Amino acid sequence: MHTTTPLHVLEHTFGYTAFRGEQEAIVQSVCDGEDVLVIMPTGGGKSLCYQVPALVRQGVGLVISPLIALMQDQVSALHELGVRAAFLNSTLSYEEVQDVEQALLQGELDLLYVAPERLLQPRTLQLLQRAQLALVAIDEAHCVSQWGHDFRKDYLSLSELANHFPGVPRIALTATADERTRDEIIARLGLEWGRHFICGFDRPNIQYRIQQKDKARDQLLLFLRQEQEGNSGVIYCLSRKKVEELAEWLSQRGYNALPFHAGLPAATRQRNQDRFLRDDNVIIVATIAFGMGIDKPDVRFVVHMDMPKSIEAYYQETGRAGRDGEAATALMFYGVEDVVKLKQMAEMSEANEQFKRLEQQRLNALLGLCEVVTCRRQILLRYFGDVLETPCGNCDNCIDTPKTWDATTAAQMALSCVYRTGQRFGTNYIIEVLRGANTERIRQSGHDQVSTYGIGKEHSVAEWRAILRQLIARGLLAVDADGYGVLSLTEAARPVLRGDTRLELRYDNKIVAQDGKAKTTRRPRLLDDIDEADMPLWQALRACRKRLADEHGVPPYVIFHDATLHEFIIHRPDSESAMLAISGVGDQKLKKFGAEFIEVIREAGYN
């Protein structure tokens, strides 16, 4: 008989001292045999919710996961913890499959990962019926939803699980927030009678920042230099070409920046992804093709060089930062050209009217997030139906409240300039006319004769771009879908032009990369927390970790997280029992790696 408790497993196998948030209640429910739905943000700690009960309950925990590429990593990480885990998927040879099946039937497995298409083969079902199951976990459960963004047909047949394995508790997990997807998961997986744990969506360790784009590369470089030296991160760009150019540009400046997009040969993608996982300071420059299935916990920053297409996409992409709970930064650069492009795309899409309206709403929500002058986290969370009572203190607007200014006159100039030039031009041309540029094109069109020619010299090009951006975002200017981004006036522009309403706009003067000190952040950054004198020890610990990781063929974070190394520096454990008291050190890791790290710590001495 098993007599182990969840807390015992948590401490001894995983090396953690306490459950996080709702984990404890979820684990208890599953241990008690209840069906459970878990909605928890990325990095919240979903895996433990089924891994711990699988070790507490009799039998094997069956984990259904769509990401074949991830199974190997998850299973290796579990092996390092001394957990008997295996997977069944198409990458295994016939012999390997037989070994797994045998281990399963002999009760020698704690966890078994299976892809849904594999699970539903008669052979697999028969096999599993002969085994004792502790639970069935359905990871990435939103894949069952046709409404959601990741629908997978194989997931539909998971509705049969309850019939195939009566009496076995089922736990469905996802980070996808919206209510419609949630309802669909509940209905399709038959979880109406189960317990539902809807955890908050906040990722408090991620700092959200959105900046007006102006010489974006320089802005990026400044950010990397001032805040992210030696860290891993992801930089998203819209096009493959931009990905390659930026990766090259960063490489020339001494960064380990590697490109990733769907157009690269599979071998190159694999190699770059592996380096990202295995090395400590690689930056991946990618299109959105990168991310799904990347489980690296110590991604310290995610940068968007272009605007993502919706708040959902933004939240998912930024969510890849800081899974380990340590401070991380999400930085987006956006400008008037992004707004124009997205407006055009929404306008052009061939979908029916209702869908188009939805797309417009999504885009407006995203623009709202970019233009807001109050707490960004409150806006983000409200979008997902979560309420944050007080401003977060950890977004750019909270840290440094943006000023607004009375832009009525400037807006009138811009709007009437669009009108006077015949509503036939895009932003760049309008700005040239406003600033009185002496160009061939303007002279030929006779626009050096219109009344708005040169009346806007008091504002810089960057300021005009910020103004036009906001006029478009607020719907005072419309963008044509013709591919040139032609601006025209909307009804909403009238009252402003007539002087009936005043217009307050966001003041974006900090656009240009300034030197001087970086913005102060509320949360201490991991590295800032380490004394200068301790840096050699930090480097030695990282080197030791990297060596062990290479020996074991796993990424460094599988050996120990940064947070655990950080605790080594603070507490200087020099005995086995002192080591065990550190969060992240369990029985197996102590046995495998404890001595080596104690050695490194001893060599550093006490200062």
Q: Which does 148 bind (CB under 5 to 8 A by kind): ligand ADP, Zn ion, none?
A: none
**Cα gap 418→486, rounded to integer Å:** 9
297 binds ligand ADP (CB under 6 A): yes
Q: Quote the DSSP letter at residue 232.
A: E
Tell me the C-alpha to C-alpha distance, in Å, between residue 113 and each of 51, 61, 191, 506: 11, 8, 21, 50
Q: Which does 398 bind (CB under 5 to 8 A by kind): ligand ADP, Zn ion, none?
A: Zn ion
Q: From the CB of residue 138, how many other CB atoms can be counted at a distance below 10 Å?
A: 26
β-bridge mates for residue 333, sequence order: 211
462 binds ligand ADP (CB under 6 A): no
Q: Which does 19 bind (CB under 5 to 8 A by kind): ligand ADP, Zn ion, none?
A: ligand ADP
The interface region with ligand ADP, picked from 36-44, 224-232, 363-371, 392-400 by CB under 6 A, is 36-44
44 binds ligand ADP (CB under 6 A): yes
16 binds ligand ADP (CB under 6 A): yes
211 binds ligand ADP (CB under 6 A): no
Query: Cα–Cα–Cα angle for 163, 167, 172, nearest 5°?
Result: 75
The interface region with ligand ADP, picked from 39-47, 57-65, 248-256, 478-486 by CB under 6 A, is 39-47
43 binds ligand ADP (CB under 6 A): yes
Q: Which two tokens stand for residue 58?
A: 């009799």
320 binds ligand ADP (CB under 6 A): no
369 binds Zn ion (CB under 5 A): no
User: Shortest Cβ distance from residue 19 to ligand ADP (Å)?
Assistant: 5
Nearer to ligand ADP, 323 or 525 (CB): 323
377 binds Zn ion (CB under 5 A): yes
Residues between 569 and 588 that touch ligand ADP (CB under 6 A): 583
324 binds ligand ADP (CB under 6 A): yes
How would you class 89 by CB atoms within 10 Å of its CB: exposed for 0-12, middle for 13-18, buried for 19 or more?
middle
Q: Which of 45, 116, 194, 555 binds ligand ADP (CB under 6 A)?
A: 45
Tell me the C-alpha to C-alpha distance, in Å, between residue 551 and each of 155, 280, 544, 555, 561: 37, 16, 11, 10, 17
User: Shortest Cβ distance from residue 80 to ligand ADP (Å)?
Assistant: 12
**Cα gap 533→280, rounded to integer Å:** 21
Query: Cα–Cα–Cα angle for 475, 480, 485, nearest 5°?
Result: 95
398 binds Zn ion (CB under 5 A): yes
Nearer to Zn ion, 377 or 447 (CB): 377
Query: Cα–Cα–Cα angle for 334, 338, 341, nearest 5°?
Result: 170
Nearer to ligand ADP, 19 or 597 (CB): 19
Q: Which of 6, 13, 36, 46 binds ligand ADP (CB under 6 A)?
A: 46
User: Shortest Cβ distance from residue 234 to ligand ADP (Å)?
Assistant: 15
Task: Report helix angle 535-552 to 595-604, nearest 10.
Answer: 160
3-state secondary structure of 474: coil
Q: Which of 48, 104, 186, 411 binds ligand ADP (CB under 6 A)?
A: 48
Nearer to ligand ADP, 217 or 552 (CB): 552
Nearer to ligand ADP, 80 or 324 (CB): 324
Nearer to Zn ion, 359 or 508 (CB): 508
375 binds Zn ion (CB under 5 A): yes
User: Shortest Cβ distance from residue 17 to ligand ADP (Å)?
Assistant: 7
42 binds ligand ADP (CB under 6 A): yes
Provide DSSP, 264-281: S-HHHHHHHHHHHHHSSS
User: Shortest Cβ distance from residue 141 to ligand ADP (Å)?
Assistant: 12
Give CA 398 to chain center in angstroms. Answer: 21
Q: Which does 392 bind (CB under 5 to 8 A by kind): Zn ion, ligand ADP, none?
A: Zn ion
User: Shortest Cβ distance from residue 307 to Zn ion (Å)?
Assistant: 20
Q: Which two tokens stand for residue 116?
A: 């849904």
Give buried/exposed letters for 251-262 (b at 16+ CB in 10 A, else e). Answer: eeeebbbbbbbe
**Cα gap 289→212, rounded to integer Å:** 25
The interface region with ligand ADP, picked from 41-49, 237-245, 525-533, 598-606 by CB under 6 A, is 41-49
Q: Which residues contact 32 (CB under 8 A, 6 or more apart)?
A: none
β-bridge mates for residue 138, sequence order: 64, 172
**Cα gap 342→86, rounded to integer Å:** 44
314 binds ligand ADP (CB under 6 A): no
Tell me the C-alpha to C-alpha distance, in Å, between residue 8 and each of 17, 18, 163, 470, 591: 10, 10, 32, 56, 17
Q: Which two tokens stand for residue 176?
A: 């996808």
Q: Which residues contact 220 (CB under 8 A, 6 or more apart)?
A: 235, 303, 305, 333
User: Shortest Cβ distance from residue 62 to ligand ADP (Å)?
Assistant: 17
Q: Which does 377 bind (CB under 5 to 8 A by kind): Zn ion, ligand ADP, none?
A: Zn ion
Q: Which of 131, 379, 392, 496 binds Zn ion (CB under 5 A)?
A: 392
Among 364, 329, 325, 334, which Cα is nearest to 347's? 364
How would you class 23 by CB atoms within 10 Å of its CB: exposed for 0-12, middle for 13-18, buried for 19 or more?
buried
Q: Which of 224, 395, 431, 503 binds Zn ion (CB under 5 A)?
A: 395
Contacts to Zn ion by CB under 5 A: 375, 377, 391-392, 395, 398
Q: Which positions lie near ligand ADP, rule CB under 6 A?
A: 16, 19-20, 23, 40, 42-48, 297, 323-324, 583
